[in-house]
Amino acid sequence: MKINDINRLQGLQSYKNTIHKASHLEANKKVQVDKVEFSQAAQEKISVEKEKRIQALKQQIENGTYKVDSEKIAEKLLSTWRKGDVE
């Protein structure tokens, strides 16, 4: 096989086309994300339960019976600090 400028240019062009197609395909890929949707009945039940919990906490605070769990606070602070989320 005789190598000349035309053969080299064709080889280079072929290589560039392959790279371009690969990058074009990569750019067109859509990221698939898992998605969860709750039914209307489930959303209503969650809303009711959430409201009950909020009312119970408000009542405890008003009565002075709400207890702060210092261990949970310390664990959350430490985990946040370890992740580097704190400036």
pLDDT exceeds 90 at position 29: no
Q: How confident is the model at residue 43 (pLDDT cuts 50, 70, 90)?
A: very high
pLDDT at 53: 96
Averaged pLDDT of the chain: 82
pLDDT tens readout for residues 47-71: 999 999 999 999 999 999 999 999 9
The full set of domain ranges for the chain reads 5-28+40-83
Q: What are phi and psi of 71, to 5 degrees?
A: -65, -40
What is the token pair recorded at 59?
Answer: 């009542």
pLDDT exceeds 60 at position 78: yes
- Structural Rg of the chain based on CA atoms: 31
Please state, in angstroms and rounded to a whole number, the distance separating the CA atoms of residues 52 and 58. Answer: 10
Find the mean pLDDT for residues 15-40: 75
